[in-house]
Amino acid sequence: MNGIGGGLARNSASYRVRLAGALLDAGEVDEACAEMSAVLGACGGISSPPLLGKIREFQRAAAGVDSTAARDGGIN
């Protein structure tokens, strides 16, 4: 997310984390993990405590899913 202001990058990451959570809730584990991995790759220096909390929440939820994507997707 280079070239985007900090607030816009944070908002974009927040929406994408929400999307990943919705995908996980819908049982679309591979897509959810791919989205979260993309967020983490694009926003390497996330420092927003609320956003970090959402990421940790996703990681906990994904850890409870028996899936190769959840285990190997770089999110746990």
Q: What is the pLDDT of residue 71?
A: 66
Q: What is the pLDDT of residue 1?
A: 42
Q: What is the pLDDT of residue 45?
A: 72
CA distance 34 to 29: 8
Q: Per-domain residue ranges for the chain? A: 6-63
| Cβ-contact 33, 75 below 8 angstroms | yes
Run means of pLDDT, 10 residues per run, the chain, 76 residues:
60 92 94 91 80 91 80 56
pTM of structure: 0.79
Torsion of CA 61, 64, 67, 72, to 10 degrees: 70
CA distance 35 to 58: 11
Q: Which residues of 29-68 are buried (b: 16+ CB within 10 A; e: fewer)?
A: beebbbbbeebbeebeebebeebeebbeebeeebeeeebe
Q: What is the pLDDT of residue 5?
A: 55
Q: What is the pLDDT of residue 75?
A: 59
